[in-house]
A and B are shown apart, each in its own frame.
Chain A
Amino acid sequence: MSNLRSTNSTTKSVTSKQGLWNFLSLFLILGCCNKISAQLTQDPNKETKIVISGARFTGDLLKHWISAYESANPTVKFVLEDKGTVEFSEADIIIHGHQPTKSEIYENRSYISFARFAVLPIANVKSPFAKAYGEKGLKKSELKQAFFFNPLDRIDEKPLKMEFNVYSRIQQASSPIVFAKTFGYEQNDLHGRLISGTDHHLVQAVSRDSLGISYAPLALIYDLGSGIIKDGLIVIPIDADDNGKISNDEKSYSDLTTALSFITKSKFKNLPVSDIQFSIKKQGAGQEVNRFLTWVFSKGIVDLENFGFLKLEEKTIEQNLTTLAKYTY
């Protein structure tokens, strides 16, 4: 009896395995068919969501692009997430205003530049600092004295002899990182009063404080409508070519167009300028993300200067478009 039961049991077992394989094969076949079918018969009205996070100083430009893209592609909806509210690895697109640090680089993401931006020192127009340096500009050593923490052993600079309050960001952010790195420092070396907020709040703090000085991207220094410097602010020229003198060219910040023109043609090491990059999720980001980015490189970039950003070279743009075309999702 026991042997018979055993034989039957073996037979059942073999039958079950075959059934399972058959079921799996069928499932796979159906699954493939379904995917193919879905791709072939995709619902053009189905909404696609793209999550974007990162550098907030690009906010106005991004909103402009989203608005234009959504008009042309009504099924695509963008979600702008504040930095910190979404994991870096989760957003479809993250915008970096600075070269991502090791901790910001993820293997599952691709990085591609789409614009450049400049960060300039600013001061309250009524401040003694503005009066002292608004016209004549800051030499590198003076800029270091003004903005960066001076440990005891730094003896190469003289202290500045006027009252001023430096405002800086507490959160790691592109503007302070780019500004500090240009002069050989880290963001934490910037001294003064810290701001928990955005670059916009830095500008706001400087405007409110008659002793205030800080740094900001062009997009926040100039009124994007008129192209002139926002009320209460002044751009402090810097010795961009580090030759110890500040020429008239180096004071070309009267309006946004002039500033962009000067910065675009310059390759000066003392000008805080950095690429702005998209960080794209390699897996899980849909074709729509690629389409949007392709749209940015082909159409969106015409708006860059209107929003205070610098264009990349044509050659770089073409390379980036080629790179984008290679991405598969």
Chain B
Amino acid sequence: MKRFLQILTLVVLNSVSIINLNAQIAGSIQDNTGEPVIGATILERGTSNFAVTDIDGNYSFTPQGALPVTLEISAIGYFKQELQIFEVSEEPLDLVLKIDNLLSEVVVTARRRSETAQEIPIPITVIGGAKVEEAGAFNVNRLKELVPSVQLYSSNPRNTGINIRGLGSPFGLTNDGLDPGVGFYVDGVYFARPAAATLDFIDVERIEVLRGPQGTLFGKNTTAGAFNITTKKPQFEAGGAFEVSYGNFGYIQAKSTVTGPLIKDKLAARVSFSGTQRDGTIFNIAKNENVNDINNLGFRGQLLFTPSDKVAITLIGDNTNQYPNGYAQVVAGVTPTLRPAYRQFDNIIADLGYSLPSRNAFDRVIDHDTPWRSLNEIGGLSLNADFKLGKGTLTSTTAWRYWNWGPSNDRDFTGLQALAKSNNPSEHRNTSQELRYATEINEKISGVLGFFFIDQEVITNGIEESGSAQWRFSQSTTSALWKTPGLLEGYSAKTLSSIKSQSAALFTNIDWAISDRLHFQPGLRFNYDKKDVSYDRKASGGLETSDPALIALKRTVYQDQFFTANADETNFTYLLSLSYKATNRVNAYATYSTSYKPVGVNVAGLPVIDGQVAVDLGTIKPEYVKHVELGVKTRPTDGLILNASIYSTTIDDYQTNVQSPQIGVNRGYIANAEQVRVQGGEVDLIWNAGEYFTLNAAVAYTDGKYVSFTNAPLPLEETGLRDKDGNQVAFKDISGERLPGISKWSGAFGAEIKSKKTSFLNQSGNAYLALESSFRSEFSSSSSPSTVLNIDGYGLINLRAGFRAIKGFSIQAWARNIANTNYFEQLLPAGGSAGHYAAVLGDPRTYGLTLRYSF
């Protein structure tokens, strides 16, 4: 009987419990002006159970889980509110949502502590993960359409340069001996290879683009700016999302992410995957195939361990592979050079009985005989640990990363066997360690102190090989010996080069609140860089001959070259920044900073000048950057953000890439320009005009000039220039001329209009229509100003429309470059400077559909 009563008691208690669990709660939601909030969503955390307020702001809701349950109440234009139900009462649960007047008050971690973007005296653009996904900006190349100060030039993943305000990487082919000036950080880990910029973003939470030198905030080089990318973290509540996109050109993109706890409140995981495929947009008639396709696969796994509330450890592994049949460049034009007539491109190919398949690059037709291949694999492991120590947080970021590069290029850009092979496969390994302590010393002073070390090695085992037609391109005299059968066919230069480098830095950045309104933010950086380079090129093959005359001819194409070089450098830079919060809506700042980009070493062959290898070009001096900036961040009215800045950046010993007419240095070499200066202004506007309309606009004016570059290479059309005495001229003074890759005007404009909360396929959400557009004015695509290697300005318009569900299925139709605008992203002279040049073509119009399911 007693047991029966116990059981009965349990049953009754459970019944009571069940009644509680399933009891309905009800109430109304108002905003802080007393108006009912229509369409607010009440979501039970960890479930897909939700309700939506009616036209009077009323709701009723039945929690599913055992009490206490947590509800998230959200509505566009309001701060999200969390509500924990400990007991269900009959009393109405009326609550007030606070109007979010600061919709774009995005919290950023650029200064290694959480602050709002408007507070910090740094010109910064923040793009949320949702915008990145919906805008289809799945890599930096597409992101640049949203941030006009960002330029990305990529003729393939290796030869990728990210610039901010026209500075960062030298224009043209990448030289491993130079460090990028734009830091690329993902979850605090420095990605050393610019090739990372071509990868698909996976699970991005937020992208912060910081403009201007940031050396006192980041471990590695940020002389021109930084990308600070934060990915979504593992969660202790199960969740996930799946997304698939289909489009023209056979476009398929699939993304998934799943997260959840492994050990309650202690260990959580997130696994994310991204795959993108698209057919090529260029047709190779020689091989009857489309090229320049996309074939990307990416994986990212994370484990978050929180042994106590003072420690958070994140282990991240990632691997991304690209296997495109791609990165072909299309001949975009032929220019006469100053060489004799027989050395002009049209005469050369006429002699060889060849004609281009098209002289209009936008026919998107090639006949390249050497396959284009760009095997690009990047990955690594990192361990990030945050320890709450004293008043601050100590962060340790340890990373090991790798890059494997397996290219095949047709760098003569024709169907001729001229430069039959031009492949420089590389392997890059780097290990880095950053230690950083961010703290509030007292009420007035906070800051960050950091130490950074990176050890890198790049090994390249490349080959350049001449084909049967190379003799005609290399023919530099009218000697009949050039026609010797097989003279250059199979003649190659095999290169083994390596560069080992170590960098160490101590950096600190302080925020001293002199008063509530006036802040002084000084920063210091001590930097050490060491580089050792070894370059060993051996020429072989071609016609076996002992004829000195023929050997001499062969040596004009390739010759053995061996050199080693090393350099080390220490330098000290600083930042002085003053910000004044005139009112709560106006924050003005002034910054002066200096920065160094490390010493550079040449690892792509050196030019032969007057018959001698120019070994003095083996190392080049570090860049010294002086930067001054004035800016103001304002909120003229609620929902409106208007920021502006003007700046001037002067670089002494600017490290630039020089394209040599010599075939043996077809990757170009690096050299110092005495001084360059970039000046400009930027205006950014974000307007949340009520609940249903948002607008963003950004305009940048950038004026970049070589202040002094007296020893610059000749532009393509001046190849073969001779002085009045008939001596060949290799260099010219381009002081006062413009820098390449910089449009004077660039801009981005976007707008989105969305519906009130509505229902679609039983999903609650908003329908929306959005437009993104970007434009840039004409710019130079040649290190030395050229009359031909210039790219006309262009504008692009993207549209998207769909239904964005709070949880569940979302759908979006999108179209990119809806006007099908033809445009060049980059123009590159072909190796040997015969007069033809090729283009990296922008994508034609693409369109498709994206389905997304989140839970």
Instruction: Enumerate chain A interface residues (CB-CB to B < 8 A).
Output: 82-85, 126, 128, 132, 149, 151-155, 158, 161-162, 167, 170-171, 188, 191, 193-198, 201, 204-205, 210-211
Contacts and interface: CB of A to CB of B under 8 A. Distances in A.
B86 A201 contact: yes
Contacts of A204: 86
B578 interface: no
B32 interface: yes
Contacts, number: 80
B547 interface: no
A155 B635 CA distance: 14
Contact of B93 (A154, A191, A196, A198): A196
A170 B82 contact: no
A151 B32 CA distance: 11
A220 B566 CA distance: 71
A234 to B, nearest CB: 15
Contacts of A153: 584
Interface in B79-129: 79, 81-91, 93-96, 98, 101-102, 113
Given A126-B309, A152-B638, A188-B32, A196 B96 contact: no
Contact of B102 (A82, A152, A162, A201): A152
Given A171-B91, A191-B98, 20 more contacts: A84-B91, A126-B309, A149-B98, A152-B101, A152-B102, A152-B584, A161-B440, A188-B32, A194-B82, A194-B95, A195-B83, A196-B85, A196-B87, A196-B88, A196-B89, A197-B68, A201-B68, A201-B84, A201-B86, A211-B309
Nearest to A132: B391
A161 B513 CA distance: 13
A155 B86 contact: no
A201 B87 contact: yes
A118 B361 CA distance: 80
B562 to A, nearest CB: 57
Given A126-B309, A196-B93, A201-B87, A155 B583 contact: yes
Given A149-B98, A155-B583, A194-B81, A85 B635 contact: no
B93 A171 contact: yes
A127 to B, nearest CB: 8
A192 to B, nearest CB: 8
Interface of B: 25, 32, 68, 79, 81-91, 93-96, 98, 101-102, 113, 309, 388, 391, 440, 443, 446, 513, 516, 583-585, 635, 638
Majority-rule SS of A interface residues = loop
Given A126-B309, A210-B309, A83 B83 contact: no
A77 to B, nearest CB: 23
Contacts of A195: 83-84, 86
A132 B440 CA distance: 11
Question: In this complex, which of A132, A162, A195, A204 has the most chain B Cβ atoms within 10 angstroms of its Cβ?
Answer: A195
29 contacts: A83-B89, A83-B91, A84-B90, A85-B90, A126-B309, A128-B388, A149-B32, A152-B101, A152-B102, A153-B584, A155-B583, A155-B584, A158-B513, A161-B113, A170-B83, A170-B94, A171-B91, A188-B96, A193-B82, A194-B95, A195-B83, A196-B84, A196-B88, A197-B85, A197-B86, A198-B86, A201-B68, A205-B86, A211-B309
Contacts of A167: 84
Contacts of B583: 155
A193 B84 contact: yes
Contacts of B89: 82-85, 171, 196
B87 A197 contact: yes
Contacts of A132: 391
A205 B113 CA distance: 27
B86 A170 contact: no
Given A152-B635, A170-B95, A198 B101 contact: no
A86 to B, nearest CB: 10
Given A188-B32, A193-B84, A161 B93 contact: no
Contacts of B391: 132
Nearest to A188: B96
Given A191-B98, A196-B87, A170 B446 contact: no
A195 B93 CA distance: 10
Given A155-B583, A170-B95, A191-B98, A196 B90 contact: no
A1 B79 CA distance: 90
A194 B87 contact: no
Contacts of B96: 188
Contacts of B85: 196-197
A196 B446 CA distance: 38
A283 to B, nearest CB: 25
Contact of A151 (B86, B87, B101, B309): B101
A198 B68 CA distance: 13
A82 B391 CA distance: 44
A158 B82 CA distance: 24
Contacts of A83: 89, 91
Contacts of A155: 583-584
Contacts of B94: 170
A194 B83 contact: yes
Contacts of B98: 149, 191
A158 B83 contact: no
A205 B440 CA distance: 28
Minimum-distance CB pairs A-B, first 7 = A84-B91, A197-B86, A201-B86, A210-B309, A155-B584, A193-B82, A194-B83
B835 to A, nearest CB: 61
A151 B87 CA distance: 31
A55 to B, nearest CB: 14
A20 B391 CA distance: 90
A196 B309 contact: no
Nearest to B30: A188
Contacts of A151: 101
Nearest to B99: A151
B70 to A, nearest CB: 8
Contacts of A194: 81-84, 95
Contacts of B102: 152
A128 B391 CA distance: 8
Nearest to A210: B309
Contacts of B81: 194
Nearest to B98: A149
Nearest to A156: B516
Contacts of A154: 584
B101 A196 contact: no
Contacts of B83: 170, 193-196
A174 to B, nearest CB: 14
B363 to A, nearest CB: 55
A211 B82 CA distance: 15
A244 to B, nearest CB: 13
Contacts of B84: 167, 193-197, 201, 205
A21 B440 CA distance: 90
